Amino acid sequence: MKNRTKNILFAGTVFTAGVAAGYVLAPVKRKRNIEKLLSHLEEIQGKTQRLHRIVKLKSSKSIRNVSDKVKRELKEPIPDLYKATEGLMMSHDDLPDG
């Protein structure tokens, strides 16, 4: 999962750098293009920060869910043997002769 995220981030960065180079190197109205580029970069930065916050909240929520599940399991470290064996059926024939 980490490699996929790194690859996506790398591809996005390369794409953005290509678009930025195209805007800067365009022969017509460079100053206007640079201003547009900066406004687009600010917009992308805002969206990226919001996405980062959302991902952080979702991951912390899933960590809390796992933590709660582990806490519940550890509350009772010795299992209730009556609950664990209530579905087992044995007859007198199943016992060894001894």
Domain boundaries of the chain, sorted by first residue:
1-61
With a CB cutoff of 8 Å and minimum separation 6, the contacts of 28 are: none
Q: What is the pLDDT of residue 1?
A: 53
Where do the H-state alpha helices sit in 1-98? 2-25, 30-75, 81-85
> 33 near 22, Cβ under 8 Å?
no
**Structure pTM?**
0.39
Query: Which of 19, 24, 22, 48 has the alpha carbon at shortest distance from 35?
Result: 24
Q: What is the pLDDT of residue 54?
A: 83
State the virtual CA torsion across 69, 70, 71, 73 in degrees, nearest 10. Answer: 90
> What is the per-residue pLDDT across 9-55, written as a single tens digit (0 to 9) for each?
888 888 888 887 877 777 767 778 778 888 888 888 888 888 888 88
